[in-house]
């Protein structure tokens, strides 16, 4: 049956998966494409590039994958589940909506295959999913996993979420929060350095995704040498994002201040934080029926005095409300 859609044959040669499963997937994708011509409102859901990662026994060898092929790969069982299984609600939404980019690049050294899957980048953060398959048992501490930008390292904080799905397979998500680095297009580099000297290097250019909604706030407040400004608020599929600047200044001392926000919606639900960095705090996506939000900023920071003494400062700032159109 695989010869019914000849245009897929060459790309399928790069995927080792049972033929009967490919038959089922190809038929399904072909049917969806016919339905799409009749119902274009499906385009975002059907053609969205889903998550794609390597699972045990399935291998993608190509460094680039066509959009149609990416859709097929995301339809194969266990392929395309990392953001959905390990990610927060924002990443789950991004994956299901087809807003992430897909790499599919694989490299094998010493019987270990590392594959780069979904990547997503917006004003709040950068995330990249990956899968590691080994001929021998392997654990998450085998690799030192790091990131870079064109070989350099912009100021950032980052973390890893991993899952050992079997003795020979593990999956994970790298999460990066750049301090002030925020280009429209990012060339993300990732390295996996193994304990036996293996070095896997990946590089992928990704375009910054945009939120569906935005309100310019321009709200100012000053308390006890602390000045802050809410720049804008964005929300949509990835979540609810607050952008701000905050500075504490004395005559001979100054520092940037991280703010924390409490966000309560019109049903009295307090939104959960997903991610943060200086100037940005990301919360879970809004429910469809939310009409208003109450936002309360908090400033908690220390001031280092000349004698080495740390003076603690804590302020509850003026709450404000916004209406969700």
Query: Tens digit of pLDDT for each residue in 150-207?
Result: 766 677 788 999 999 999 999 999 999 888 788 899 999 999 999 999 999 999 999 9
Residue ranges of the chain that CATH labels 2.60.40.1640 = 213-323
- pLDDT value of residue 254: 84
Contact predicate 76/70, CB 8 Å: no
Q: What percent of the chain has pLDDT over 90?
A: 57
Long-range contacts of 104-107 (CB under 8 A, 24+ apart): 104/52, 104/60, 104/62, 104/63, 104/64, 104/65, 104/70, 104/73, 105/60, 105/62, 105/63, 105/64, 105/202, 105/204, 106/54, 106/59, 106/60, 106/61, 107/200, 107/202
**Residues 31-73: tens digit of each pLDDT:** 444 433 333 232 222 222 233 333 333 333 333 344 444 454 4
- pLDDT value of residue 250: 84
By three-state DSSP, how is residue 114 classified? strand
- pLDDT value of residue 63: 34
CATH class of the structural domain 213-323: mainly beta
- Residue of 18 and 115 predicted with greater confidence: 115
- Residue of 96 and 310 predicted with greater confidence: 96
The C-alpha angle 208, 40, 206, rounded to 5 degrees, equals 15
On the CB side of 308, how many CA atoms lie within 13 Å of its CA?
A: 0
- pLDDT value of residue 291: 96
- Three-state secondary structure string covering 30-64: HHHHHHHHHCHHHHHHHHCCCCCCCCCCCCECCCC
Crossing angle of helices 19-38 and 67-75, in 10° steps, is 120
- pLDDT value of residue 306: 72
**Residues 249-291: tens digit of each pLDDT:** 887 788 889 999 999 999 999 999 999 999 999 999 999 999 9
Q: What is the mean pLDDT of residues 225-247?
A: 95
Contact predicate 177/209, CB 8 Å: no
Q: What percent of the chain has pLDDT over 70?
A: 74
Q: Which CATH number applies to 2-207: 3.40.390.10, 3.40.50.620, 2.60.40.1630, 3.30.360.10?
A: 2.60.40.1630
Residue ranges of the chain that CATH labels 2.60.40.1630 = 2-207
- pLDDT value of residue 80: 66
- pLDDT value of residue 23: 52
- Residue of 183 and 143 predicted with greater confidence: 143
**Residues 6-23: tens digit of each pLDDT:** 444 444 444 444 444 445
By three-state DSSP, how is residue 141 classified? helix
């Amino acid at each position: 049956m695989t010869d019914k859609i000849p245009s897929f044959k060459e790309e399928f040669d790069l995927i080792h998966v049972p033929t009967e499963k490919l038959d089922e997937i190809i038929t399904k994708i072909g049917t969806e494409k016919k339905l799409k011509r009749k119902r274009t409102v499906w385009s975002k859901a059907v053609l969205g590039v889903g998550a794609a990662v390597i699972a045990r026994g399935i291998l993608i060898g190509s460094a680039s994958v066509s959009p149609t092929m990416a859709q097929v790969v995301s339809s194969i069982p266990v392929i395309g589940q990392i953001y959905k299984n390990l990610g927060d609600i924002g990443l789950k939404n991004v994956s299901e909506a087809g807003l992430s980019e897909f790499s599919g690049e694989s490299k094998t050294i010493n019987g270990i295959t590392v594959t780069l899957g979904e990547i997503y980048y917006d004003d709040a953060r950068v995330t990249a999913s990956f899968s590691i398959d080994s001929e021998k048992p392997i654990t998450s501490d085998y690799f030192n996993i790091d990131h870079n930008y064109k070989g350099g390292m912009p100021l950032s904080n980052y973390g890893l979420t991993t899952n050992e799905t079997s003795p020979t397979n593990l999956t994970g998500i790298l999460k990066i929060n750049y301090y002030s680095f925020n280009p429209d297009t990012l060339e993300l580099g990732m390295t996996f350095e193994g304990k036996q000297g293996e070095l896997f290097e990946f590089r992928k250019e990704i375009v910054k995704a945009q939120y569906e909604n935005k309100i310019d706030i321009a709200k100012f407040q000053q308390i006890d040498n602390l000045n802050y400004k809410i720049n804008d608020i964005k929300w949509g599929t990835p979540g609810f994002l607050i952008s701000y600047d905050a500075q504490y200044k004395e005559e001979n001392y100054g520092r940037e201040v991280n703010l924390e926000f409490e966000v309560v919606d019109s049903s009295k639900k307090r939104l959960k934080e997903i991610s943060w960095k200086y100037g940005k705090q990301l919360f879970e996506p809004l429910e469809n029926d939310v009409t208003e939000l109450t936002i309360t900023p908090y400033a908690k920071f220390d001031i280092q005095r000349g004698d080495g003494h740390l003076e603690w400062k804590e302020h509850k700032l003026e709450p404000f409300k916004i209406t969700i159109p």
